[in-house]
Amino acid sequence: MVSANIKGAILMTIARFAFVTNDVFMKYLFVDMSVFQAMFLRGTVAVPIIAGLAWYRNCLLIRLSVVDFGLLSIRAAAQIGMASCFLTALAHMPIANVSAIMQIVPLSLIVVAAIFLAEVVGWRRWSAVVIGFCGVLMVIRPGTDDFNSYSTLAVGAVAFATVNDAVTRHLPNRVPALFAALFTAIGVCLFSGAMTTTIPWQAISAFNWLILSFCGLSVAAGYFFQVMTMRFGDLSFVAPFRYIGLVWAVLLGALLFDEWPGGWTGFGTILVVLSGLYSFYREHQQRSAN
């Protein structure tokens, strides 16, 4: 019989595959349309699917307190900022580079917890954070010809993702995860739809509609399996499997866009991943000791 930890690891792997696959095909779409047009059209596919899943789970309509609505609104705003920054950077940078930068989010959450939540962080985890951020610097290489405004946007996406994850951790259990995902997806769709009124609308081929539909399905699947991940296994065991998505991003970037990570990018990526894995390991040790 498959253990809860193995089920959680499998679900996390599927979720990361779904999200990265969506990123790859969105990058393909950016050749023919703007980032916000692609975001909006993807949302028109994803929102009904997520709403259907929420209805199936009997959490489509719930009562929200003022605090709940406030937290969901902050989370949605952070997701809008993250998606806008990440996808704009993705349109102009190799997918492996952007994905590697995003892997710093678990480490940035440690910084937020230490500064704003007074969480005790030992010198080993602080060392992991510093090494991880050094890895990101190796990926973006400020001061060189490879550094540009899109690198800055990728770092901005990390900041927004950190806020999103921090708020998500403090959502009360009475707010179903699928409802939170739907609330956010609607917010991103409405924002990107409003932004399309400020830029030229591009005609969409039948093939691009097929790709958009696939992206919508991928995002919805990612949300669903990410929610299911929370129901199985220990977080310290399951969370490291998020890095499988980075391997998938590197492979797809190389196969579909001929984007091979350079020496500094590869070394920086390894530092980020190892630092993240070590921080998960230390967190597991501390919980076991308590």
pLDDT in tens, 198-237: 999 999 999 999 999 999 999 888 888 877 776 666 655 6
Residue 87: pLDDT over 90? yes
DSSP, residue by residue, 61-121: S----HHHHHHHHHHHHHHHHHHHHHHHHHHHS-HHHHHHHHTTHHHHHHHHHHHHS----
Residue 288: pLDDT over 70? no
- Distance from chain centroid for Cα 277: 17
Residue 128: pLDDT over 90? no
Instruction: Give residue 190's pLDDT.
Output: 96
Instruction: Give residue 234's pLDDT.
Output: 65
Residue 109: pLDDT over 90? no
Question: Considering only 2-11, 70-79, 129-138, 197-206, which range has the smallest mean pLDDT?
Answer: 2-11
Parse the chain into domains and list their residue ranges. 4-289
Instruction: Give residue 225's pLDDT.
Output: 83
Instruction: Give residue 191's pLDDT.
Output: 97
Residue 60: is it exposed, middle or buried by C-beta count within 10 angstroms (0-12/13-18/19+)? middle
Residue 290: pLDDT over 70? no
d(C-alpha 264, C-alpha 122), whole Å: 29
Whole-prediction pTM value?
0.85
pLDDT in tens, 153-208: 999 999 998 898 888 877 887 888 889 889 999 999 999 999 999 999 999 999 99
In eight-state DSSP terms, residue 206 is H
Q: Are 116 and 88 spatial neighbours (Cβ–Cβ below 8 Å)?
A: no
